[in-house]
A and B are shown apart, each in its own frame.
Chain A
Amino acid sequence: MPETREEILARIRSALRDAGDREVAAERAAIARGYIRSGHLGPEARLHLFMDRLRDYDAHVVETSADSLPRTIAALLAEHNQKKVIAAAGLPEGLLPGELSFIPEKQADIQDLNDCDGIVTICTSAIAATGTIVLTHGPGEGRRRLTLLPDRHLCVVRAEQVVETVPEAIERLGGLATHPLTFISGPSATADIEMTRIRGVHGPRFLEVVLVR
């Protein structure tokens, strides 16, 4: 209701009569942000922290080189006998093992997503301190449902994408802020029953991260 909008805004303004100076931008700029913004770890330590934190929340982590990436992916898929695997639209050329066949994301309907053995994506950035991968759902990252319905998510992370802190990741996302964003920290989980952490309620039960360095 348009009249409700005016009524609520009027009530807010009347409630704030005592609030004094109402200069928004200057007051906002004066907010003290004394927390840690940039990390202090070297590249090697940062990547180790990232892998530790991923493992701490039940993700499976494998390191590889750019040259061996397709071979590493093939080995991971074979390990769990994944045959029906969907590849995110727009994955970089040469990332997937050429000898295997993948279902292109564009051809997969919701039932395929529900029935497949797994999916492969890349990401936009990753946070070491929290063991998080960040998707902005651009090329190679899939539509949001791609990384949600299947049981296994294999995500390729390049070393230079890994930042140490949450503020660094938010800063990197700046220009993409109005994209759909998904922060993933380990596989889906719940602790709703007696606070016992159970993996895989509705999202993927298995998160496999391939770190390329």
Chain B
Amino acid sequence: MTIRVGESAEAPPFQKAALPLLEDPQLRKNVRHATDVIQRKRGLVVAEQTDWQELRNAASAIKAHTLRHLDHYLVQFERACTAGGGQVHWAADADEANRIIAGLVKQYGGNEVIKIKTMTSDETGLNEALERDGIRAHETDLAELIIQLGRDRPSHIVVPALHKNRSQVREIFRERMHLPELGDQPEDLTAAARHYLREKFLNVKIGVCGANFLVAETGSVCIVESEGNGRMCLTLPDVLISLAGIEKVIPLFQDLEVFLQLLPRSATGERMNPYNSLWTGVHPGDGPKHFHVVLLDNGRTGILADAEARQTLQCIRCAACLNACPVYRQTGGHAYGSSYSGPIGAIVTPQLLNMRQGQTLPYASSLCGACYEVCPVRINIPEVLIHLRGRVVREQKSTLDPEALAMKAAAAIFTSRTRFEAAQRLGRLGQAPMVSKGWMRNLPGMLGNWTRVRDLRALPPQTFREWWKAREKAAGKGSHA
């Protein structure tokens, strides 16, 4: 089995990938603007929902319950979807999912598909796999179209082209749609996309989508969207194929009343997004004649097995944590080297890859907790980040590693009062050449990695313990304290 998450296996470490992005002022401006706008809108519509915390608690409980009984609910979904005329496939990894989908497209005699924005298909690298089989995939979400035509990579889970501004989008459309006169107002660009894609919607016979929710009770699939490209792909083609992670299942139709209140407000700051579609298998006389669901594992069962990190699978991909994250807001999504960026990406990607790649991602965080606060399903991302840092360290552990040696020495010093006080006195002597006005800004050797990005306060001339002793002596009380 080969688990793959986009191109993350080849991605450089986060800290290295972030540097060139931090030096791109246009990108940083675009990311800052977009995340500011979404956060402001989200704040307003969350404030008017007076039962927000109760909704979050319910959502978290429903998801945790579903994960604890995932086998039960997947089998129930499969049965109900099949009863409705759908066909369910199971894929252990990205390659198997891509193979199943390419096989279906060929089986129905197609050589192109129209696609709804699907994070999961970015994860499996579906478009590239189809291309290798001679099948053309047309992205129909406006932002995904910008990415596809610009040969770019998505940088956000909900608004994948947020790192591009209007004039950058215009350049891409001008060149790739052959529209030399195209204006740069968002209205012009949107109209160009409407025109460009309408012909595809009316003619391409196979649609590919993801899933926001799979309802076990009814076998229904739910897609949440804004533009109507989703509804086009769901209803106009003869064949519809949905690729969904196994964690997308929810138990009851009724559970939608929770998630349909939380997701739009968290994702785009809307009370409700323009379109939610649900369907169950095939509906004679309305929509596709053939419906297939591909249920994807690709490392998810590995996350499920780690009880402390299992909550990662509660994610509904709203991206509120990206918009709130002080790290993401500086770098944008490309630094994370994965389809999944931001705080949720920092915990999803390395875990899907069984901690063999993406090991720097759990460190791409200041652990400030903003992500946990906005998460509509209450994933305690900082807690999982710390847990994963532990896993990274344990996996890299070697007794000759300088950090491990330093930690061992520190442990010896901190366990004894005399050693600790001696170390303080020694440190005060040793630091003298490196201190300037009470700060250390340029430590030598390996320690320089610390001061390259942070300043370090110098040890004070008197420690607290020394001050306490001196104070008692001065008061003439001796040292009985």
Interface residues of A (CB under 8 A from B): 1, 4-5, 7-9, 11-16, 18-19, 22, 24, 27-28, 31-36, 53, 57, 110, 114, 127, 129-132, 137, 143-145, 148, 166-167, 169-171, 173-174, 177-196, 198, 200-204
Give Cα A188–Cα B232 distance, bound, in whole angstroms: 12
Q: Which residues of B contact A131 (CB under 8 A)?
A: 271-272
Q: How distant is A97 from chain B, measured CB to nearest CB, in Å? A: 27
Other-chain contact of A203, B30, B72, B227 (Cβ < 8 Å) = B227
CB contact between B305 and one of A15, A27, A34 (< 8 Å): that residue? A15
B residues 252-289 touching A (CB-CB < 8 Å): 252-254, 256-258, 260-261, 268, 270-280, 283, 285-287
With an 8 A cutoff between CB atoms, is B241 at the interface? no
Task: Give me 15 other A-B pairs in contact (C-beta within 8 A), A193-B161, A201-B194 excluded.
Answer: A24-B69, A32-B58, A35-B55, A53-B271, A110-B202, A131-B271, A174-B253, A179-B283, A181-B277, A182-B275, A191-B37, A191-B268, A193-B165, A193-B166, A203-B275
Smallest CB-CB separation from B146: which chain A residue? A192
How many angstroms between the C-alpha atoms of A31 and B69 in the bound complex?
A: 14
Q: Does B473 contact A (CB under 8 A)?
A: no
B285 close to A143 (CB less than 8 A): yes
State which of A31, A171, A182, A203 has its C-beta within 8 Å of the C-beta of B276: A182
Interface-central residue, A131, A169, A174, A177, by most chain B CB under 10 Å: A177
- B219, B227, B236, B283 pick with most chain A CB within 10 angstroms: B227
Number of interface residues of B (CB under 8 A): 96
Contact A8 B232 (CB under 8 A): no
CB within 8 Å for A15 and B226 given contacts A143-B285, A178-B219, A198-B186: no
Q: In the complex, what residues of B have CB within 8 A of residue A130's CB? A: 271-272
Closest CB pairs A-B (n = 7): A203-B228, A15-B305, A202-B228, A201-B227, A130-B272, A183-B276, A11-B301
Q: List 10 A-B contacts (CB under 8 A).
A: A1-B96, A7-B92, A13-B71, A24-B72, A53-B271, A167-B254, A181-B279, A190-B190, A191-B268, A195-B33
Known: A184-B274, A193-B169, A195-B38. A201 touches B142 (CB 8 A): yes
In the complex, which residue of chain B has the Cβ closest to the Cβ of A56? Answer: B271
Question: Do B254 and A170 have beta carbons less than 8 Å apart?
Answer: yes
Contact B228 A177 (CB under 8 A): no
Determine the distance from Cα of A22 to Cα of B58 in the docked complex, in whole angstroms: 19
Q: Is the CB of B169 within 8 A of A184?
A: no
For B228, list chain A residues within 8 Å (CB).
148, 188, 201-204
B186 and A12 contact, CB distance less than 8 A:
no
Please tell me if the beta carbons of B84 and A178 are within 8 angstroms of each other in the complex. Answer: yes
Shortest CB distance A31–B (Å): 5
Docked-complex contact A8 and B301, CB < 8 angstroms: yes
Q: Is the CB of A191 within 8 A of B231?
A: no
Q: How far is the CB of B432 from chain A (nearest CB, A)?
A: 53
List residues of B whose CB falls within 8 A of some A CB. Answer: 30, 33-34, 37-38, 50-51, 54-55, 57-58, 61-62, 65, 68-72, 74-75, 84, 89-92, 96, 140-143, 146, 159, 161-162, 164-166, 169, 186-187, 189-190, 193-194, 197-198, 201-202, 215, 217-220, 226-229, 231-232, 234-236, 246, 251-254, 256-258, 260-261, 268, 270-280, 283, 285-287, 295, 297, 301-302, 304-305, 307
Question: What are the residues of chain A within 8 A of B90 when measuring CB–CB?
Answer: 1, 4-5, 8
Alpha-carbon distance A210/B169, docked complex (angstroms): 38
Contact B232 A11 (CB under 8 A): no
Closest residue of chain A to B55 (Cβ to Cβ) is A35
B161 & A192 in contact (Cβ 8 Å cutoff): yes
Contacts of A28 in B (CB 8 A): 65, 251-252
**Given A5-B90, A143-B285, A202-B201, A194:B58 Cβ within 8 A:** no
Which residue of chain B has the shortest Cβ distance to A178 in the bound complex?
B280
Tell me if A194 and B34 are in contact (CB < 8 A). yes
Within the assembled complex, what's the spacing in Å between the Cα atoms of A7 and B33? 46
Among A1, A15, A22, A36, chain B packs the most CB atoms within 10 A around the CB of: A15
Closest chain A residue, CB of each to CB of B254: A170
User: Which residues of chain A come closer than 8 Å to B70, judged between CB atoms?
Assistant: 12, 16
Q: Which of chain B's residues has its CB closest to A19's CB?
A: B68
Docked Cα-Cα span, A110 to B199, in Å, equals 12
CA separation between A190 and B254, bound complex, in Å? 28
Q: Are B51 and A34 in contact (CB under 8 A)?
A: yes
Shortest beta-carbon distance from B217 to chain A in Å: 8
A170 contacts B58, CB within 8 Å? no
Tell me the smallest distance from the CB of A43 to a CB of chain B, in Å. 21
Q: Which residues of B contact A191 (CB under 8 A)?
A: 37, 159, 226, 268
Residues of A within 8 A of B30 (CB): 194
